[in-house]
Amino acid sequence: MEQKLEQLKTILAEITDLGGAVALLGWDQQTYMPPGGAEARGNQLGTLQRLIHERQTSAAMGKLLEELKPHAAALDPDSDDARLVKVVSRDYDIATRVPAEWVVEFAQVTTMAQQAWIEARTKSEFSIFRPHLEKIVELGQRYVSFFPPADHPYDILLDIFEPGMKTADVKAIFDALRPRQVELIKAIAAKPQVDDSFLHQAFDEKKQWDFGVEVITKFGYDWKCGRQDKAPHPFTNGGSRSDVRITTRVNPNFLNSMIFGTMHECGHALYGQGTASKLDRTSLDGGASLAVHESQSRMWENLVGRSLPFWDHFYPRLQETFPSQLGSVPLEKFYKGINKVQPSLIRVEADEATYNLHIMLRLEIEIAMVEGKLAVKDLPEVWNSKMEEYLGVVPPDDARGVLQDIHWSGGMMGYFSTYALGNLISAQLWEVIGRDIPDLTDQIRAGKFEALLGWLREKVHRHGRKFEPQELVQKVTGSKIDPAPYLRYLKEKFGQIYGL
């Protein structure tokens, strides 16, 4: 059987290499590709995705898996080889249901859609993006039709990003979370608001950039295996463990965007750079799920980056960088300012207390589109209505409303709930980390992150895709995804800031 395992790994290495080329072309598309290159890029990506699909669904792949399943069943179920056969079998079962023609069309449509989204967002005109999104929704509905009926059609799209998770599971978690978060937000609203005006002034873009680089270098981002560039919407792209690239955006008049966006993407990148080398060029290389990935980005952005111990260390350096803007702002005022709770328009700049409401809104909209109950043409009106219902604010234009996120242009229907789930996982992990590293607060205050990163590498990163998300969370924390630790975290943090 060792020979057959090697044959499987040879096929997987080729698939992984092709996937790396797709990732690199996708990174270039959002960073340096000229707008006129979209159609050609769509054809290139379509060809590569077709080649990947052919290898994933080949008769040779199917035969090897059938021969290896009995062998894998006799192994330690947590061994790399047993898990590899399990994960590849799952990928094979999914891929064989999806026609190659759909794969090519999806690559072409989403490539053109992303360019249309950039133009639409720049001009704040949803009508530019609308026909592309209509095609994407229709492609998503067709994708669902390739599979046996599920408890809910959205289950099939959610499973792309969260293996094993059901729509009912997410709704149950959100139903438990929503009233408690709304209660917290109302309690905060009854208190005097903190001042964050000092964050809204002119900040030199190059100095912002350099400060962000300094921070994530201390976090442990390996620049030999990565780089940072600008993009309309920040993202992380990992073609392999040794090439994980991040992007950010810089607002010259608001400090939070670059600082916390850079930390967020670095969290993703640290996960990507931390997968065990023995999983290279196999289907186990990568993250357990998007929620687990988000747990890493949200942890570094919020639990580390918005904490008082973090700024005990970094704030003097930031004051040196921007003396006229921050030199007279005390640390406590700065800390409260960056954690100000106020319903806002933009998800990626939302505070921790209101952030999940943005996600719940998007989940409702996605489900309605998949069900065919919401037409794309009505999306801006419904979006604005739900923003008022959930957050009490109404977007003044499409750019700050329905066009603010890039995900739908990439065909990522079923994705958004992973952000909120990632918040919950991050807090679950954080409680365990606090027990395992008792002096963590002192280490962060000293600007030392080696122990934290080492813990994450050992408990989460090195495993790649070996475990499904709920399984991994259970192994590390002792329970499946649970909102309670996150609610405890929010109550303690904002109770102190707002005197609740």
pLDDT at 320 over 80: yes
Report pLDDT digits (tens) over 258-273: 999 999 999 999 999 9
Is-catalytic flag, 265? yes
Considering the domain architecture, whether residues 58 and 180 belong to the same structural domain is answered as no
Tell me the Ramachandran region of residue 317: left when phi exceeds 0, alpha when psi lies from -120 to 50, beta otherwise: alpha
**Domain extent at residue 339:** 167-498
Report pLDDT digits (tens) over 271-315: 999 999 999 999 999 999 999 999 999 999 999 999 999 999 999
Report pLDDT digits (tens) over 73-84: 999 999 999 999
Considering the domain architecture, whether residues 188 and 137 belong to the same structural domain is answered as no
> Average pLDDT, stretch 2-6?
92
- Domain-located, residue 415: yes
pLDDT at 1 over 80: no
Considering the domain architecture, whether residues 291 and 401 belong to the same structural domain is answered as yes
Considering the domain architecture, whether residues 364 and 471 belong to the same structural domain is answered as yes
Report pLDDT digits (tens) over 363-386: 999 999 999 999 999 999 999 999
Per DSSP bridges, beta strands 243-248 and 228-230 are: parallel
Q: Nearest Cα to 267, choosing from 317, 232, 316, 215?
A: 215
Predicted local distance difference test score (pLDDT) of residue 304: 98
- Domain-located, residue 393: yes
Predicted local distance difference test score (pLDDT) of residue 19: 95
Which helix (H) or strand (E) segment holds residue 20: the answer is helix 2-31
Considering the domain architecture, whether residues 175 and 128 belong to the same structural domain is answered as no
Q: What is the CATH number of the domain that holds 275?
A: 1.10.1370.30
Which helix (H) or strand (E) segment holds residue 161: the answer is helix 153-161
Q: How far apart are CA 309 and CA 449, in angstroms?
A: 12
Q: Is 70 exposed, middle or buried (0-12, 13-18, 19+ CB in 10 A)?
A: exposed
Spell out the long-range contacts of 165-170 with Cβ–Cβ below 8 A and sequence spacing 24 or more: 165/289, 165/291, 165/421, 165/469, 165/470, 167/367, 170/363, 170/417, 170/421
Q: How far apart are CA 42 and CA 338, in angstroms?
A: 40
Predicted local distance difference test score (pLDDT) of residue 348: 86
Mean pLDDT of the chain: 95
- Domain-located, residue 155: no
- Residue ending a domain, among 149, 184, 207, is 149
pLDDT at 233 over 90: no
- Residue ending a domain, among 117, 149, 181, is 149
Considering the domain architecture, whether residues 9 and 132 belong to the same structural domain is answered as yes
Considering the domain architecture, whether residues 70 and 209 belong to the same structural domain is answered as no
pLDDT at 349 over 90: no
- Domain-located, residue 181: yes
Considering the domain architecture, whether residues 106 and 234 belong to the same structural domain is answered as no
Predicted local distance difference test score (pLDDT) of residue 411: 94
The answer to whether 250 and 205 have CB atoms below 8 angstroms apart is yes
Considering the domain architecture, whether residues 131 and 172 belong to the same structural domain is answered as no
Considering the domain architecture, whether residues 203 and 345 belong to the same structural domain is answered as yes
Query: Above pLDDT 70, what percent of the chain?
Result: 100
Predicted local distance difference test score (pLDDT) of residue 279: 96
Considering the domain architecture, whether residues 218 and 104 belong to the same structural domain is answered as no
Predicted local distance difference test score (pLDDT) of residue 2: 87
- Residue ending a domain, among 87, 120, 149, is 149
- Domain-located, residue 161: no
The answer to whether 394 and 387 have CB atoms below 8 angstroms apart is yes
Q: Nearest Cα to 235, choosing from 212, 264, 211, 258?
A: 264
Residue-by-residue DSSP string for 257-306: HHHHHHHHHHHHHHHHHTS-GGGTTSTT-S-S-HHHHHHHHHIIIIIITT
Q: Which of 210-214, 238-242, 336-340 has the lowest mean pLDDT?
A: 238-242
pLDDT at 455 over 80: yes
Active-site hit among 162, 265, 294, 366: 265
- Domain-located, residue 265: yes
Sheet with 228-230: strands ordered across: 228-230, 243-248, 236-240
Considering the domain architecture, whether residues 220 and 303 belong to the same structural domain is answered as yes
Q: How many domains does the chain have?
A: 2
